Each structure stands twice: as structure tokens, then as C-alpha cells.
Structure 1
Amino acid sequence: MIKINDLVVAYGGIEALKGISLEVPSGKIVTLVGANGAGKSTTLKSIVGLVKPKSGSIDFEGTDLTKLNTELMVKKGIALVPEGRRVFADLTVLENLKIGAYTRKDTKGIEEDLEKVYSLFPRLKERTWQLSGTLSGGEQQMLAIGRALMSRPKLIMMDEPSLGLAPIVVKELFGIIKRINEEGMTVLLIEQNANAALKIADIGYIMETGRITLSGSGKELLSNDEIKKAYLGEAL
């Protein structure tokens, strides 16, 4: 679905991405794992056009994403759940969800998708008329995911969805991400929480200082001694 080839991104004279290549096959969960500052978010920003690469290519189903703006990407079927959730605090849960469907005109389809989101996140239905800024962190993350789903994307990208959440909430959230994928959604997951991300990922990439240093299935990477020591806090 997405193929990134030899991507280089520089901020001034400093290269944040040093020729990375990766693939996100249709129907899979792919995770990009690494420490803060490894280049994960820069990769995501490159895909959505917030950062222009110095060289390399980003292909989405035959379209060069480096030539599209954000609205065209939404129409192509790409949705982003940004780091820090970024819900509209002064709007209700329902208003936030409807903003996710702003490019759509099919009123009946929008209503159907609202019910799908509410079935995934029953707590959001209970809080339909509540101001989003008064939700808990976990509920705001659920809302951010639900808002992204309202555009009916082919690919949903999530930037650090576990950030600042309690372990029990992270477990619940990643279970829902797995369910979304099982219902046909392709997922690109950017995470520092390697354990949670690799447990649900079909494919994982390990990123360090702007380079992909290791890749494999989620299961393979979870059992890798180097990964255990560096990211899972386990002594060899």
C-alpha cells in the first residue's frame, strides 16, 4: 500500500532520516519502533506532507505522496491520529467525530459510521454531548482514533497512541487497534512502547538515529535478544 524508498529528510544541514526504506502492505499492522528522536515522527510527517524530503520517494497505491497536500491525502484514503491526540477541546464528542467526515457528503454513510465508531468505543457514545476537553486521556485517544475513522480511510496512521496513558488503558486501546485491523483497516503505528506495538504488529521496523536498523515480524522482534535489552528492559 505504501512504499518508502531511500527517504532522506534534513532539518538545515542535519539529516533526520538517512535513506530509510520500508513497506506497509495492505491489510497489515506495521509498526515503527524507536526511542525519542529516532526519526519516527519525521517519517510520519513526510508521509502526510508536513515535511518535504530531500530525496527518495513515498508511493501510495501508485501516487507520489510528496506531491499531494493534506486534503488530497484524506481523499486518497489516508488518515492520521496525531501525537498528543489534539481533539477540539471546546467541541463535543459528536462534533469532533463529524469533523473527521468533513470531506464526505454521504449523510447516511456518515450516520452509519458514527454507529460503528460508537460500537468500537461505547464510552464515546455515553459522552456524545460532553465537551472533549473534559474527557480522560484514554477517552481523548479513543476520540482521536474515531475521528480519523470517520473519513473512511484505507490507511490509518497513529503517532504514539500510548503516550501518557496507564498500562490498563494501553492494553484496551491496542486491543481495539487490533480489532480495527481485523475488520480490514491497514495500520501504520508509530510507537515508543515496543512491547505493546510489537505484540499486535504483523511487521515491525526498529529505528535508530534516522536509520532502519532491524525489521521482521512482530513475533520475531519480540524474541530478539537485542530488542529485549534495548526496548523491553530485559537483561540478557
Structure 2
Amino acid sequence: MLKIENLHVSYGGIRALRGISLEVPDGKIVTLIGANGAGKSTMLRTITGLVKAESGSIRWNDHELLGQPTDRIIGTGIAMCPEGRRVFADLTVLENLKIGAYLRKDRAGIQEDLQSVYDLFPRLKERVWQMAGTLSGGEQQMLTVGRALMSRPQLLLLDEPSLGLAPLVVQDIFSIIKKINKQGTTLLLIEQNANMALRTADLAYVLETGNITMFGTGADLLADEKVKEAYLGKHKS
């Protein structure tokens, strides 16, 4: 389980997170929704050590992550798919995927996981020698997720996986998120597409200006009138 308690983070005097607390139980999909600037991405970057916290606690499987370097945090079984995809444009699909396994030494296991990624994303197998920068936006997002899976994470952090993608591609991405979860990976999903996120998640939090303002099951928040008005539009459900 990932357990965050009373987490405070500031950027140059601006308080990005104001004592937030949340839990991500093993085997679940947990989503955090909120407007731009609410602090969602800051939280993920703090979990992975890319941003330093002022105070609080982030515990993963009963080990404190705050103060640990990013490579050590990743080595504990956490992987992140960053916002904006961030593929290595001048490397091939295969080279990008192998970078995801850079901490691993088990060559046979790496080959098995490459095949698992190709099973999840057949289009990546078709484009294995193609330069990542020439892929479509949806294919780059698939590559980013596949690269993260190559580290065999127990916990996968997804930062805005649907951003800038066509609706049909968004459906594919969320379908794959469910498959990854069914295969045993816990997911923490940061997403502006609140409708899709809440339909996918077991548990959900609403983050507003650095504060957690609501918590419940994905279905409960999907039906909540305040959430509908703020994030879904009154006529959506």
C-alpha cells in the first residue's frame, strides 16, 4: 500500500500541496481528479523524488520514500508515466522499451516482458524499429506505458494519460489501464478526463488548490452533484 500523510510541498513560496493525505490500496485503481494547477502532478513528482517535500510522509510497503533518491524509489517497484509522454524521440520503439528495464539484469525476464508489452500493444510490435518521434500521439502514450511496465512495477503512476488524444484512442488507453490492473499492478491515475477516470477507478479523490476536498468510490463521485457540476458538466453521468 502507498500511504501519504499530511504532505506539504511548496514551489518558491507557493504552497502546491497543503497537508494532503491519501491511500492507494494494493491491487486497486485510485484516481486523483482536479483542475489545472490543483497540485496533481506535483504529488506524483514528490512520490518519485523529483520534487522535495517540506514535511509529511510517503510510505510504500511500510518504507518511507521521502528523502530517498529517485533511482532508489524506482527500485522499490514504482514506475511513472509522465505527462506529455516524454518518449526518446531519436530512439526506436524497442530501444525505448529496453530503457524501462535499465535496472534489471534478468535477460530472459526482459524478453518475456517485451512480449507481454507487445501483447498489450500490438501496434508497438508492428513498429518495433520505428523511431519513437515518428509515432502518433496515441502510439507514443502506449510506448510510455509499455516502457514503465518493463520495470515490472508493483505501483504504476499515470500522469494525464489521455491528454491530447482522440476520443477513440482514449477509450483504448483506459481499456488497457484496466487490463494492467487485472494483471496485478496497482495504479494511481492523475487525470483531467474526470468522466473516464471515475468510471475506471475503484477509489477517487478530488484535489482543489492543494487540498483533498472529496473522497469516495469512483461510482460515488461520478454520481455526486458537486462533482458533476465542477468536472463532468451537469448533464453527464
TM range, smaller chain: over 0.9
Distance 2:55 2:139 in 1: 39
Runs of 4+ in structure 1 deviating by more than 2 angstroms, as ranges, are none
- SS of 2:66's equivalent in the other structure is helix
Structure 2 match to 1:67: 67
Percent pairwise identity: 66
| Cα drift, residue 55 of structure 1 | 1.0
Paired amino acid for 2:132: S
Structure 1 match to 2:107: 107
Distance 2:162 2:180 in 1: 16
Structure 1 match to 2:31: 31
Q: Deviations over 1:122-161 (max 9, x none)?
A: 0000000000000000000000000000000110001000
Structure 1 match to 2:160: 160
TM-score normalised over the length of structure 2: 0.98
Paired amino acid for 1:89: A
Distance 1:12 1:100 in 2: 32
Q: Deviations over 1:13-59 (max 9, x none)?
A: 22111110000000000000000000101111110111111111100
Q: Is this contact kept in 1: 2:204–2:221, CA < 8 A?
A: yes
Structure 2 gap ranges (5+):
none
Distance 2:21 2:133 in 1: 38
Structure 2 match to 1:223: 223
Structure 2 match to 1:232: 232
Cα root mean square deviation, aligned: 0.9
Aligned counterparts, 1:150-229, within 5 A: 150-229=150-229
- SS of 1:204's equivalent in the other structure is strand
Structure 2 match to 1:95: 95
Q: Is this contact kept in 1: 2:6–2:55, CA < 8 A?
A: yes
Residue 127 of structure 1 pairs with residue 138 of structure 2: no
| Cα drift, residue 67 of structure 1 | 2.1
Q: Deviations over 1:58-87 (max 9, x none)?
A: 001111111211111121000000000100
| Cα drift, residue 215 of structure 1 | 0.5
Distance 2:49 2:108 in 1: 31
Distance 1:12 1:103 in 2: 33
Corresponding pairs, count? 236
Distance 1:235 1:29 in 2: 26
Distance 1:235 1:184 in 2: 35
Paired amino acid for 2:3: K
Structure 2 match to 1:84: 84
Distance 2:234 2:169 in 1: 23
